[in-house]
Amino acid sequence: MILPANDSGAVKWQSPSNIALVKYWGKRPIQIPQNPSISFTLSNAFTQTSIDYRYDHMLKDGPKIDFYFEGKEKPAFAKRIIRFIESLKDTFTWLSHCHLHIDSTNSFPHSSGIASSASAMSALALGLCDIAQQIEGKVWEETVFLQKASNIARLGSGSASRSVYPDLAIWGTHHSFQGSSDNYAMQYSHDIHERFLDFHDDILIISPKEKSVSSTIGHQLMENNPYAATRYDQAHKNLEEIVQAMKANDMDSFGRIVEEEAMTLHALMMASKPGYMLMQPNTIAAINTIRAYREKTGTPVYFTLDAGPNIHLLYPNDVAKNVHAFRESSLKPLCYNHTIIEDHVGKGPKKLV
Ligand code: PMV
């Protein structure tokens, strides 16, 4: 038996959510994306996860996991977390001999309808990789550590693979991006115009309700979607073009692709068998309001959507003053309880303990 370098300890990581500009939608086993994607890493919307571990040689059928969310047991989420950690026993053999006490909190209200899986799974993956270093008595170089964490995070939730990096991250193999991989994401801030490195993303909460169709089912429905092959080609092309646009500070092309991606994601849902819709009437009202304001004023402000009804309002910092006035007067009334979460491109995860 290999003795652990440390047999107990604690780690704590903060990891942000991210918003995809070119979307990942459709996968094959195990969590391999059908097309590459790129996202802005966010800042204010994050999860903090602490993990206390204790190695116990007598324990053979571990890990034994207690999971708390904001100090309380949350069985539905715990089930997913436990299944995910169990699936890592071949990668981290020490897990079978470990007791883990996990406590997780989100910076955003849980009833806000913000998908928390990217921040939650990336925070957990970073924590587990950190424990792996302590138990195995190793220190990986930062790039190696982050790549391992991205790989592990991907197995928990595909989009989580991108959250471990600052600024922008690409996940999924694309012939134009050297080092891109289906297994893990990579940072991509190289040569990107500075206007995109502090971009705003205000999350307009249109509805806080849980989605009627989960992302897991949504990905599955892509398997029989008649437009799937065309979509995967489009994503490859859009990734190449949006990166070019961000390098050249070509705001119009950036905005055109971002909105095309959001509309395509929801069109794919509608064209699934069975078709479904996650947009709400106020999602459409907000989209029309944003487009009308942009046409009237020439302000570079755009929208994107995740797999849900909420709008992500994207704009560069140099137009923030005008956009804020517009947002307060014209978009806030469309939001549930007037809820808007202000966020922006961020610097990635932080180790807290
Ligand atoms: O990571 P998942 O399985 O929750 O899927 C996320 C899919 C989208 O958020 C809709 C797009 C993306 O690339 O983040």
Measured in angstroms, how far is the CA atom of residue 8 from the centroid of ligand 1?
A: 34
Model confidence pLDDT, tens digit, residues 131-163 = 999 999 999 999 999 999 999 999 999 999 999
Ligand 1 proximity of 306 Cβ (cutoff 6 Å): yes
- Segment 48-60 mean pLDDT: 95
CB 222 within 8 A of CB 276: no
pLDDT, the chain, mean: 95
Nearest one of 198, 200, 209 to 310, comparing CA atoms: 209
Supply φ then ψ for residue 233, to 5 degrees.
Answer: -65, -45
Q: Which atom of ligand 1 is nearest to the CA of 307?
A: 10
Q: Could you tell me the pLDDT band of residue 76, with boundaries at 50, 70 and 90?
A: confident
Question: Is residue 112 pLDDT above 70, yes or no?
Answer: no
Residue 304: predicted pLDDT = 98
Residue 113: predicted pLDDT = 65
Q: Which atom of ligand 1 is nearest to the CA of 118?
A: 1
Residue 308: predicted pLDDT = 94
Q: Could you tell me the pLDDT band of residue 211, with boundaries at 50, 70 and 90?
A: confident
Question: Is residue 4 pLDDT above 90, yes or no?
Answer: no
Which of residues 155 and 210 earns the better pLDDT score? 155
Q: Which atom of ligand 1 is nearest to the CA of 31?
A: 3
What are the C-alpha distances in Å from 317 to residues 200, 209, 272, 295? 6, 30, 37, 19
Bridge partners, residue 222, by sequence = none
Q: Could you tell me the pLDDT band of residue 77, with boundaries at 50, 70 and 90?
A: confident
Size (the chain), residues: 353
Question: Is residue 114 pLDDT above 90, yes or no?
Answer: no
Residue 92: predicted pLDDT = 96
Q: Show contacts of 291-299: CB within 8 Å, 24+ apart.
A: 293/326, 293/330, 294/255, 297/322, 299/323, 299/326
Ligand 1 proximity of 37 Cβ (cutoff 6 Å): yes
Model confidence pLDDT, tens digit, residues 297-334 = 999 999 999 999 999 999 999 999 999 999 999 999 99
Ligand 1 proximity of 163 Cβ (cutoff 6 Å): no
Q: Is the dihedral of CA 11, 16, 22, 23 positive or negative?
A: positive
Question: Is residue 109 pLDDT above 80, yes or no?
Answer: no
Q: Could you tell me the pLDDT band of residue 190, with boundaries at 50, 70 and 90?
A: confident
Distance between CA atoms of residues 13 and 336, nearest Å: 31
Residue 111: predicted pLDDT = 63
- Segment 251-264 mean pLDDT: 98
- Segment 76-92 mean pLDDT: 93
Ligand 1 proximity of 157 Cβ (cutoff 6 Å): yes
Question: Is residue 1 pLDDT above 60, yes or no?
Answer: no
